[in-house]
Amino acid sequence: MLCDTYKEALIEAAASGAALPISLREHVGTCARCRATLAGERTLFAAVDAGLHNAANARVPSGFLPNVKANLATETVPTRNPIPVWALVCATGALALAAAVLSLPRGTRDEGRTEAISLPRMVPAGAGGVGLSFVPEPKTRYSARTSEAFRQQNVSDPTSHEPEVLIQPEEGEFLKRFYAAVSNPALDAKTVVADEHEITAKPLVIEQIEVKDLKIENLDEEPGLAQTGTK
């Protein structure tokens, strides 16, 4: 009966590894059963600790880190939008609302401030049969909004000071890559070009120049030159 009162204290002592309280130590010194219980509990906790150590300290395979690095190398630039989905939904809703509000007929106050620009969006085809996209420069306080509209239409913002280039649509990606390579000093522009249009150096052959009947005339005798010289 007395031993049962010490049982919990014995387990606590074995679990914590702390020294036994004086009263418990005296009892264990005299009671063989409690001494055996304490020894058993200590063995059990030591086995638990050893099992945990084995489970938690496994040897890492030598090929593990190189494999991970190889997998990382195959990872491409993430194309996922870092903006959360809920933010996109809210922004879309707000844009739709704004578009709905702006599509309503404006009052006279707004009309007075806005300079109406009505120009055809397409310039007539030229001699080569090539039409040019044309967008008028915004001149009103809504220029920020129209700039956004230009961006959405994949047309560059006319208020920007960046140089602009007219190209065929399929050449856009190639030109971007080329400029990226040019602006990156670590890359050689030739390597960017070479994978699409391989450059092979060929010896330049110049045919022999034949000069026939070389005639030397006196330039002073020309009437035009003589007049300017006299003036």
Q: Which residues bind another protein (CB under 8 A)?
A: 11, 15-16, 40-58, 60-61, 64-65, 67-69, 71-72, 75, 77-78, 82, 125, 129-133, 154-156, 160, 162-169, 172, 175-180, 182-184
Q: Which tokens hold the place of 147?
A: 């700039």
Distance CA 19, CA 95 (A): 71
**Closest CB to another protein among residues 31, 181:** 181
CB 143 within 8 A of CB 157: no
User: In whole angstroms, how close is the CB of 172 to another protein at the nearest point?
Assistant: 6
Q: How far apart are CB 152 and another protein at their closest, in Å?
A: 14
| Residues 36, 26: Cα–Cα separation, whole Å | 14
Distance, CA of 69 to CA of 63 (rounded, Å): 10
Q: Which C-beta is closer to another protein: that of 64 or that of 86?
A: 64
- Six-digit token string for 218: 């006196």
For the CB of residue 28, give the shortest distance to another protein in the complex, in Å.
19
CA distance 191 to 198: 9
- 3-state DSSP call for residue 216? coil
Kindly tell me which of 182 and 226 has the beta carbon lying closer to another protein.
182
What is the smallest separation between the CB atom of 153 and another protein, expressed in angstroms? 11
**55 versus 211: smaller Cβ distance to another protein:** 55
